[in-house]
Amino acid sequence: MENENDVEVKAEPDMTFTKELRKATKDVHKMSDILVNAKFALALSNETVWADGLLAFYEIYKFFETHLPETLLPKELYRTAAFEKDLNIFLGSNWQENYEPRESVKKYLKKLEEVRSKNELLLFAYAFQMYMALMSGGQLLQKKRMIARKLWIGKQEEPEDNKAMTFDPELHEVDLEKRPMPAQVTICPPGCAATFFPDKISVLKAKLRTILNENYGKFDDDMRAAFIEESRNVFLYNGDVVRSIKGVAKANLRALGMVVCFIVGVYLALKFARR
C-alpha cells in the first residue's frame, strides 16, 4: 500500500522542460530581478508604491484569467479578485471609475492580444512565468513588506483549513536551487491578498509545471523556439511596467534619509558617551 509521501513524489512533474525553459530565460530573468530589487529595495513599506505596483500589473493578470482556459490556467491561481480587494483598500472602492491603464500596460496588453491571436499556448508562456513569479518573488516581497510595515507575526499559527504550511521542504528544495525563498506566508493582513495563496504553493507550482510539460513536450522545433522567445519577452515587457511604477524613487530617498539619520544618531550617541 502506498503511503502519502509516495503519492506526492509520483505526482511531482518531470522538471526536464522546466529546466530547459529556465536556462533559456536565465539572462533576462536575472536582469529582471536586478531591476525589481533596485526599484523596491527601500520602498516596500510605502503603501503608495505598493498600491501603484498592484495597479500596474492588475490588467496583466486579469487578461490571462479572461483569455486562457482552465486547462492552461487553473482557477486556484486566479488573482483578479485579490488584486481588486487590495486596490479597494488602498485606492477606495470607486477607483475603477476614472481608471485607465498606463501606456506601458497598454503596450503589454496589445502584445498579449497579438500573441493570443497566434496561439493560446504562446499566451500561456507569459502566464507560466507571471504566476510562477507571483508565487516566488511575490511571496518574498510580501514577507519583506509585512516586516517593514510591522505586520509580521513572529510565530505563525497553522491555518484551520490546513491547506497552507509555514514551511514546505519540497518548495524550499526546488526554489533554493536558484535563490533563497522564505517559508510560505500563511497570514493575510489587509492589503496583502494579491500575493497570498491559501493553497500550498508547491502544489500550485506542480500543476503549472505539469501543464507546461504536457504541452511543451509535444511542440515541434518552430513552436518550441516561439515559446522560448515569448518566455523571454515576458521579462522585457515586465521591465517597462516596473519602470512605470510611481513613487519608488521618492520613497527610497525618504527611507535612505531615515537610515542615514539613524546611523548619524548612533555615531553621535557613541561619541558623546565617550566624553
- The predicted structure's pLDDT at residue 29: 65
- The predicted structure's pLDDT at residue 40: 55
Name which of 41-55, 150-164, 198-212 the model is least confident about: 150-164
The interaxial angle of helices 120-148 and 47-67, nearest 10 deg, is 160
Give 13's pLDDT tier (boundaries 50, 70, 90). Answer: low
Question: What type of residue sits at position 144?
Answer: K
**3-state SS assignment for residue 268:** helix
Give 247's pLDDT tier (boundaries 50, 70, 90). Answer: low
Question: Does 1.20.910.10 match the CATH number of domain 4-246?
Answer: yes
Name which of 3-17, 56-70, 177-191, 237-251 the model is least confident about: 3-17
Question: What type of residue sits at position 231?
Answer: S
- The predicted structure's pLDDT at residue 1: 44
Domain ranges of the chain: 4-246
**3-state SS assignment for residue 33:** helix
State the cell numbers at 82: 485579490
Write b or e for each residue in 99-121: b if 16 or more Cβ atoms lie within 10 A of its Cβ, otherwise e: eebbebbeebbebbeebbeeebb
- The predicted structure's pLDDT at residue 192: 83
- The predicted structure's pLDDT at residue 136: 79
The whole-chain average pLDDT of the chain stands at 74
The residues, any chain, with a CB within 8 Å of residue 29's CB and separated by 6 or more, are 22, 235
pTM (2 decimals)? 0.71
